[in-house]
Every structure is written in C-alpha cells, then in structure tokens.
Amino acid sequence: MNTRRDFVKLAGTASLLAMVSARASEPGLAGHAAGSTPGAAATSEEERAAWCRLAIRLAEPMLPALAARRLKAVMPVEAHPKAKDRPEYSHLEALGRLLMGLAPWLELGAAATPEGRVRERLGALARAGIDAATDPASPDYMNFARGGQPLVDAAFLAQALLRAPQALWGRLDERVRRNVVIALRATRVIRPGESNWKLFATMVEVFLHRVGEPRDDVRLFEGLTRHRDWYVGDGVYGDGPEFHWDYYNSFVIQPMFVEALDVVGDEAESWAGLRGKARERLTRWAAIQERLIASDGSYPVLGRSIAYRCGAFQGLALAAWRRMLPPEMKPAQARVALGRVIRRTLEAPGTYDAAGWLQIGLAGHQPGLGETYISTGSLYLCSAAFLPLGLPPADPFWSDPAVPTTWERAWSGENLGVDKALKSPK
C-alpha cells in the first residue's frame, strides 16, 4: 500500500468480512455441518452464501496480512519435521494457490450487495498483496528463483492472473505489472522435471505471452507436447511417462493443459485439434470426479498431496465454471457434489489453527498426511474447488434447485444408464 487512501480503502475490509461471515452463519445461511447432505434442504442462495463464507475464511488471515506487508511476520509454516526449507517457499505457495481458486469470483467485480462489496475489497487486498510479493523493497518480497519450488507457485500466480484479467492484472499499476513480469521471468532458471512440472513452465510462458511479453517457446510447448504424449485414455493423463493413482489430473494437469491451449491453440492446426480433445477430456474427467463423491462428501483417499483437500476436485469445478459439464450432469448436480466436498474438508474440527490458518490434513488436523514438500502455504490449493463462484448467482449452477448426485441416484436404486469410457485417440 503506497498511499493513505489505499490504506483507508483496505482497512475497512476486516469489518466487512466479519459482517458477511456472520450473515452466512445465521440460521438458514450457514449450509450444513461437515458430513451432512446439504443439497436436499439448502436453497441455492444458502449454498452460495455457505461457499462465500468458506472462501472468505481462506482469504481472511492471508490477504490482509500480505497487503500490510506482514505475511512473513505472522503466517505460521507447518511442515514435515524433515523439511527445513519450507519457509523459503511457503508464502508464494499461499498467495499463488489462494488466488488461483478465487480469481474467477474476484473477476465478477463489485456489486451493490454484501457479496459484491466483499469481492471489491478482496480484489483490492489481492492487488496490494501482489505488489508486496513482487516489490524488491517489500519485507514480503517472495522467492521466485531459489530452489525448484518457486516455478510451481509462480505458475499458480500466473494462472490466477489469467483467470482474472481485469480484477487482478488489469487493475495493477504499471510499476507492479513490471515487477510481476520480472518475477515470473526469474523462474526460467528452474528446469522442470519429467512430470506435471512441465506445465508450470508452460503456464508462466503462456501468461507472459498473453500480456505481450517475449516468451520462451521451448518452455511453453514442451509441457504441451509431453502431456499430449502422456495421455493414457478415458480422459486421464499420466503424470510423466508412468500413470499414478492420485489427483494430479485435477491439481495441475487438466486445468493448465486446457487453459494453455486456450491461449495458443489457434497458432497451428495441430494445436487447435489438441485443444478440442483436451476440452473433451476435461468434460469426461468431470464426469468421473462427480461419481467419486459420496453423499457425505467423502471420496477415495488416493495418492500424494491429499492434504490439498477439496482442491482434488478442480477438474469438476473448472468444467462447471466453464460450462463444460457432460450433458447428463445438470449444473446443480455438480453444485451439490462440490458443496459437500468443500464442507467435508473445510469444516472439520482442526482444519484451522487458532489464528485461522489452514493446518495439514484432509478432514481436520492430520500432519501425518503431509509429505516433505507440503507446508502451510501449499494447503491453499483447496481454493480451486471454489472456481464456480465465478458464475453469477443467476447462472443455473446456482439458481436451479438441488439435484441428487450420481452416487445418490445409483445407490437409492434408480435405474441409471451405464457409464461409458471416452474414446479419444492421442
């Protein structure tokens, strides 16, 4: 924050967030407790209020602290006992991952409603936070080049800026834009391994290209060609040349692959064809993801990074936000499924510490689920499940009555049609 006017504008945010949080906690607006089945009773307005309340809870400790340039002073860094280097990376992790999921919501901009006013204030805090993170004179200036991890979270920050081109990037001062570009370019010293990391380099270069900066074509297209070749069928990619059972198709692969091809897909006929296939595969992945969600919001605990909680369902959330759900899935059905996962993973006792920061775990505080690369900042990838907040309240995702999920319909005895694999060649 550079002026008294900026400070006054942002200082009012805490009370506004408290007001909206309190309103969303009133009877009829709070949704349902973790493990319940909210779709049957909650109205669409109540559902959106519950999502907003939880999104605000994620943002509330982080963005005000970073806007005040005090994030490093106040944010705890919980990590695996053997991981001693996470304070080098955790703050950029927190910023990039939080904004990646909340960006579409912020992009809706201000409105004369409590939610609209919160969006405007959070957007102002986010922009001040981006300034603090990329200004070399800031005590919260973040690490974009030392070690390998900064490439990951610079890519999430770039993804956030692509998802909110007006609310985040478009309203930054020219000085801050230049600092962001310099910070993202600094990640070019990091060489990505043969895994989903290729797409982190791709995403950084795609963003630089989108804002008119020179791009590194080798880094940009290597991630696309690798994942084109790593497609294993039925809407699923390998994370490298071997397939792993985990949620990395949602955490990274499907979203970054599709969104990168959005930008460069018209540059060659082959890329345009791959873009169409990638979108079709995302739709299939969304169908698979919706079927994984039980009626209580639980889902299979498979693979690494399970502490990213509901971020495991970014594929379904992205397809809903982009209106790319399969034809047999109604938007309100996706809303019910995602809402249950969000509440199951973010309302369990122990999810947050006393100051409101996320703690390692899936359903509460479970530090044993944290790998050596997991820390407090990492956990904010859970925000990816909130992408449909970027749809306005009048969209069918929010306005239509609740629809039972596939899990409920099948296990209640409904005579469903069979699930069919996607026949899509490489």
pLDDT single digits (tens) 59-68: 999 999 999 9
Q: Is residue 130 over pLDDT 50?
A: yes
**Which architecture characterizes domain 4-411 according to CATH?**
Alpha/alpha barrel (1.50)
The CA distances from residue 314 to 127, 255, 290, 323, 381, in Å, are 24, 8, 11, 14, 9
Sorting pLDDT into bands at 50, 70 and 90, what band is 26?
Answer: very low
d(CA 153, CA 221): 19
The pLDDT value recorded for residue 371 is 96
d(CA 366, CA 345): 12
Q: Is residue 347 over pLDDT 80?
A: yes
Q: Is residue 104 over pLDDT 90?
A: yes
pLDDT tens figures, 271-288: 999 999 999 999 999 999
d(CA 63, CA 123): 9
Mean pLDDT score, 128-134? 98
Mean pLDDT score, 114-128? 97
> Taking the CA of residue 50 as centre, how many other CA atoms within 13 Å lie in the half-sphere pointing to its CB?
28
Place of tokens 């900066």: 213
In which element (H, E) is residue 302 found? Answer: none
Higher pLDDT, 40 or 248: 248
pLDDT tens figures, 136-178: 999 999 999 999 999 999 999 999 999 999 999 999 999 999 9
| Close Cβ partners of 185 (under 8 Å, ≥ 6 residues apart) | 208, 213
Cα dihedral: 357, 361, 367, 368 (round 10): -170
Q: Is residue 22 over pLDDT 60?
A: no
List the structure tokens of 391: 């749809």
Q: Is residue 204 over pLDDT 60?
A: yes
pLDDT tens figures, 288-337: 999 999 999 999 999 999 999 999 999 999 999 999 999 999 999 999 99
What integer best gives the mean pLDDT of the chain? 91
Angle in degrees, CA 404, 410, 411, rounded to 5: 95
Mean pLDDT score, 338-367? 98
SS3 400: coil
CB 422 within 8 A of CB 281: yes
The pLDDT value recorded for residue 426 is 65
CB 387 within 8 A of CB 334: no
Strand partners, 236: 233
Burial of 232 (0-12, 13-18, 19+ CB in 10 A): exposed
d(CA 305, CA 50): 25
The pLDDT value recorded for residue 8 is 38
Residues, the chain: 426
Q: Is residue 1 over pLDDT 90?
A: no
d(CA 343, CA 173): 37
Sorting pLDDT into bands at 50, 70 and 90, what band is 221?
Answer: very high
The residue extents of the domains of the chain are 4-411
Sorting pLDDT into bands at 50, 70 and 90, what band is 350?
Answer: very high
User: Measured in Å, how far apart are the chain's first and last C-alpha atoms?
Assistant: 49
CB 76 within 8 A of CB 93: no
The pLDDT value recorded for residue 14 is 45
Q: Strand pairing of 236-237 and 231-233?
A: antiparallel
CB 209 within 8 A of CB 158: no
Listed in order, strand segments (DSSP E) in 120-237 are 231-233, 236-237
In which element (H, E) is residue 271 found? Answer: helix 269-292
Of the candidates 111, 109, 99, 22, which has an alpha carbon nearest to the alpha carbon of residue 67? 99
